[in-house]
Amino acid sequence: MNARAYAFALLKEICIDEGYSNLLLRNKLQSVDPKDKALVTQIVYGTLQNYRLVRYQWQSYVKKEPCKEVALLLDMSVYQLLYMDKMPAYAVIDEAVRITKKNIHPRFSALVNAVLRQVERNGKRELEGNAIEQLALETSHPTWLVAMWKAQYGWQECEKICHSDLEIRKQCVRVNTMKASVEELLASGEFAKGSLAEDALYYLGNDIIHSNYYKQGLISIQDEVSQLVAQYVDPQPQERILDVCSAPGTKACHIAERMGDKGSIVCGDIHAHRVELIKNGARRLQLQSIQAQVMDATSLKEIEGEMFDRVLCDVPCSGYGVLARKSDIKYHAKSTDMDTLIPLQQQILQSASKHVVKDGILVYSTCTLNKKENEKQVAAFLAQHEEFECLQQQTIFPYTHHSDGFYIAKLKRVR
């Protein structure tokens, strides 16, 4: 299978079968010819990041939208024609026709050929609509999401967020300070210093998962802003910590490292197979303080009566802060998604708060940019719980440090 056919197969799994782009690319690129890996990655990520813009470029050339597979192939091909350098048009179009005949149905080949010839001949279409619609098309975000960001954060912030979601993010790692120091890894010449989190470095090479640094447990893959969560928790040796939505355990392992693996961290997830991810991560890093178990964060009946010095609620969220790394989220996003998420977050926060000791800490975090899931969620909780006060809260926009967008609030139980 050549590079374009492989890219199309991956895009089908992501866009039609709703697979996770980062996991699929990480796992399936291993079987791609090394000389084709960069091209496959660029086509897949480029098409996802620009999914609305590329579709806008060809939609006026069809009377009605074709089936999902044909539409996706046109998206991928238009991205190559209009937005990739040094990509011969004849090669893109001929290969698209071949993929149509072999992987979709021969009857669509004439349509694919005709539409792509039109795109090649006419070039990029001028964007239409009001300012919000134009920004949504230009940066390939749902129009309702752009409108929401404008209403919540203002137009300038909204523009910056949208454009930052088109950036290619560098690979950020977290140093396991129990096995190595930031200074030691910087001295290797293979890393650059982070700008925000204390243990963050950026890997200058490729394929970090297959490096000795990863295999030996010297580093973990974690975005720099995500690493701030453990700093907010600020765990101390010998304390009891609860992480109620822990899987895959990245933050719990960071907490364990920061407390010198002394104490106990009870980690939970509602799915048994995801609890195994927590255990596997702890084993790789040789951490003994992690105690992973199946638990329902909305009730926490599994730990009824147990109290903890610090509790982390890194709740399920809409993920609007990680769209640069996970463009498939914006591809599938619906405005109704938060209708089920917001009550779920409320339940988890209410449930977890019952397990915080007096003078203990409760940290609430999301990887989204949505005040309904963030500031308003915490404000509603505090209005109902006078025994807690907010020590600190912060929204980190993705453009400020070229990282994920995040929200973190640190609450203290005062009585």
Tell me whether residue 314 is annotated as binding.
yes
Question: Of the listed 67, 158, 367, 390, which one is catalytic?
Answer: 367
Greatest Cα-to-Cα distance within the chain, rounded to the nearest angstrom: 72
The residues with which 411 forms a beta bridge, in sequence order, are 362, 390
**Is residue 165 a known part of a binding site?**
no
Backbone angles phi, psi at 246, to 5 degrees: -85, -35
Among residues 373, 356, 263, 274, the alpha carbon closest in space to that of 318 is found at: 373
Question: Are 139 and 163 a contacting pair, CB within 8 Å?
Answer: yes
Contact indicator for 225, 407 with CB cutoff of 8 Å: no
Report whether 296 belongs to an annotated binding site. yes
First to last CA, the chain: 64
- Structure-token pair, residue 24: 């699929």
Backbone angles phi, psi at 306, to 5 degrees: -80, 145
Q: Phi, psi at residue 275, to the nearest 5°? A: -60, -35
**244: helix, coil or strand?**
coil
Q: Which amino acid is at 407?
A: Y
Alpha-carbon gap, residue 44 to 126, rounded angstroms: 24
Q: CA torsion 158→161→162→168, rounded to 10°?
A: 170
3-state secondary structure of 36: helix
φ, ψ of residue 162 to 5 degrees: the values are -60, -45
Chain mean position to CA 180: 27
DSSP-assigned beta bridge partners for residue 291: 266
Say if residue 248 is preceded by a cis peptide, omega within 30 of 0.
Answer: yes
Q: Reply yes or no on whether 367 is catalytic.
A: yes
Instruction: Say how far apart CA 290 and CA 40 lie, in whole Å.
Output: 38
Annotated binding-site members for S-adenosyl-L-methionine: 269, 296, 314
Q: Residues annotated as binding site?
A: 269, 296, 314
- The residues that are catalytic are 367
